[in-house]
Amino acid sequence: METVYVLIGPTASGKTAISGILAGMLDAEIISADSRQIYKNIPISTCAPETELLKRLKHHFVCEYELSADFNAGLFGIEGRNRIKEILSGEKKALIVGGSGLYVKSIIDGFFTDETKSGEIRRTLEERLISEGRDVLYKELMKIDPETALKMDSGKFRRVIRALEVYLVSGKRMSELQSISDNIGFKSVQAGLLWDRRELYERINQRVEEMLNNGMVDEIQNIKNSGYHYKTHNSLNTVGIKEVFRYLENELTYTEMKSLIKQNTRRYAKRQMTWFRKDNRINWVNINSKSIPGIISESIYRIFVK
């Protein structure tokens, strides 16, 4: 089975620079696992790779979709695996790079798509929860999908409802859908960039300053003028972009906007690391401001090819 390589890390951790070196060492094409870099017209706001790097190395899922596109982690997993098959068939390697944990999970492990969601069925189950009680729904799940039921606390009623919803919508047990990882078609090796929190936060603050100096406000003003808004387009409902919209609508001063972007980005980085630390498959590589990207890349390369 072919091996796919994965480089993860929180925002501002240096993934882009290191992946550019790694891709050359591996003779790989890059799959961007970033939930916002996939969209067009917001390269500054999403810190998309520079044009020069995009010309030098083949990137997938960077500035490809319109802001109006309805895209999610489930669809990314499906399309991403299709592209990996194409890359591997062309005798290249695939290097997944990103900080969106759900997107990474979707492509390497499989993920439930929105096809297993139904607002109507969920409302019915929630009404039954009130009228019939938790025990009844849990016992129903035990009959349908005991493997899933035994893994969860019957008190976690939202998870019980979700598992029942999956079955009623798709006709498949959640445990069956989770077994998709057995049919992914490739194995993966993951490496992660581990920073001291204080130093990472300093990098985040610096990068926000650079984004604003590079024209982030004008970028968002242009898409706002085109009729896009973070309240109506999920592609824009993200840290950084929302705060700029609020500034343009006079809800925040420039100073308040900048401070809030930094604060919310730091919080996002913390959530990213919380997610990644749950995955014991990740090989962590310590990195700091004095680290040389080439040396870090060599360390990761050895993890990948050992």
Per-residue model confidence as pLDDT tens digits over 211-259: 999 999 999 999 999 999 999 999 999 999 999 999 999 999 999 999 9
pLDDT at 111 over 70: no
Q: How confident is the model over 266-271, as a mean pLDDT?
A: 97
When the pLDDT of each residue in the chain is averaged and rounded to a whole number, the result is 92
Q: Is the dihedral of CA 7, 13, 18, 23 positive or negative?
A: positive
Residue type, 70: D
- The percent of residues in the chain predicted with pLDDT above 90, rounded, is 74
pLDDT at 170 over 80: no
- The percent of residues in the chain predicted with pLDDT above 70, rounded, is 94
pLDDT at res. 72: 84
pLDDT at res. 179: 59
pLDDT at 169 over 90: no
pLDDT at res. 73: 85
Measured in whole angstroms, the distance separating CA 277 from the mean position of its chain's CA atoms is 15
φ and ψ of 68, to 5 deg: -85, -5
DSSP letter for each residue of 5-44: EEEE--TTSSHHHHHHHHHHHHTEEEEE--TTTTBTT-TT
pLDDT at res. 176: 75
In the chain, what are the domains?
3-110+184-305 (3.40.50.300), 114-181 (1.10.20.140)
pLDDT at 75 over 70: yes
pLDDT band for position 185 (50/70/90)? confident
Q: Give the Cβ contact number of residue 3 at 10 Å.
A: 13
> What are the residues whose beta carbons fall under 8 Å from the beta carbon of 15, sequence distance 6 or more?
7, 8, 9, 97, 98, 99, 193
Q: How confident is the model over 67-92, as a mean pLDDT?
A: 92
Map 143-192 to HEC letters: HHCHHHHCCCCCCCHHHHHHHHHHHHHHCCCHHHHHHHHHHCCCEEEEEE
Q: Are 134 and 160 in contact (CB under 8 A)?
A: yes
Residue among 196, 212, 192 nearest 262 (CA): 212
Which carries the bigger pLDDT value, residue 120 or residue 88?
Answer: 88
pLDDT at res. 305: 94
φ and ψ of 5, to 5 deg: -100, 145
pLDDT at 113 over 60: no
pLDDT at res. 123: 87
pLDDT band for position 116 (50/70/90)? low
pLDDT at 264 over 90: yes
Q: What pLDDT, in 10s, does the model give residues 16-26?
A: 999 999 999 99
Residue among 213, 305, 231 nearest 4 (CA): 305
Task: Report helix angle 254-276 to 197-213, nearest 10.
Answer: 140
pLDDT at 40 over 60: yes
